[in-house]
């Protein structure tokens, strides 16, 4: 099984990560049926809301995931009380479907357990069938559902 280690991002690493993460989120919003322009606006508003103090926003943790010396992905988690919420997790595009997503999520679970957290949650876009399957295999259960209809 693939194993990874999580290393906290530095402030210098955060800035380029943040720009790409917001752009990726906008693409996911657009893939869910919104125009690219509306998706970009929604992503900018969501990131500004979630990270008002950017890298220093209390409760937020940012890591890069490594397999030995190679960076394979990243993880962003917010902790509230005894619960972690995964806001973003990704594997480098050229390394997908090799077990790194699972390894990053298992590393997140270990970090949560090491920090006395008792629950981990996340949101996954409906169109992301691969991620949905992975989370179900890892024991995540659906706790809600958003629906939309274009008019």
Residues in Cβ contact with 62 at an 8 Å cutoff, skipping those fewer than 6 apart: 8, 9, 14, 17, 55, 74, 75, 76
Terminal C-alpha separation, the chain: 46
What is the domain partition of the chain in residue ranges?
Answer: 5-137
Compute the residue count for the chain.
Answer: 151
Using one digit for the tens of pLDDT, what is the confidence trace for 71-87? 999 999 999 999 999 99
Query: Residue ranges of the alpha helices (H) in the chain?
Result: 11-31, 36-50, 100-114, 129-137
User: Residue 85: helix, strand or coil by DSSP?
Assistant: strand
Structure tokens at 1: 């099984």
> Is 5-137 a domain of CATH 3.40.630.30?
yes
- Mean pLDDT calculated for residue range 139-151: 82
Enter the pTM of the model: 0.89
Residues in Cβ contact with 18 at an 8 Å cutoff, skipping those fewer than 6 apart: 47, 51, 54, 55
Q: Classify residue 41 as exposed, middle or buried by CB count within 10 Å of its CB (0-12, 13-18, 19+).
A: middle
pLDDT for res 55: 97
Q: How far is CA 25 from CA 69, 80, 81, 100, 138, in A?
A: 27, 22, 26, 20, 23
- Is the pLDDT assigned to residue 150 strictly greater than 80? no
């Amino acid at each position: 099984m693939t194993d990874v280690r999580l290393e906290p991002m530095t402030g210098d690493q955060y800035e380029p990560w943040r720009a790409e993460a917001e752009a990726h989120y906008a693409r996911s919003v657009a893939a869910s049926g919104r125009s690219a322009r509306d998706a970009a606006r929604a992503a900018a508003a969501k990131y500004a809301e979630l990270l008002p103090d950017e890298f220093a926003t209390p409760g937020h943790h940012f890591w890069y995931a490594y397999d030995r010396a190679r960076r394979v992905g990243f993880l962003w988690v917010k902790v509230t009380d005894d619960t972690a919420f995964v806001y973003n997790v990704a594997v480098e595009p050229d390394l997908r479907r090799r077990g790194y997503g699972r390894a990053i999520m298992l590393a997140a679970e270990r970090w949560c357990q090491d920090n006395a957290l008792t629950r981990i949650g996340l949101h996954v876009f409906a169109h992301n069938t691969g991620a949905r399957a992975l989370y179900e295999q890892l024991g995540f259960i659906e706790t809600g559902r958003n629906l939309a209809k274009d008019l």
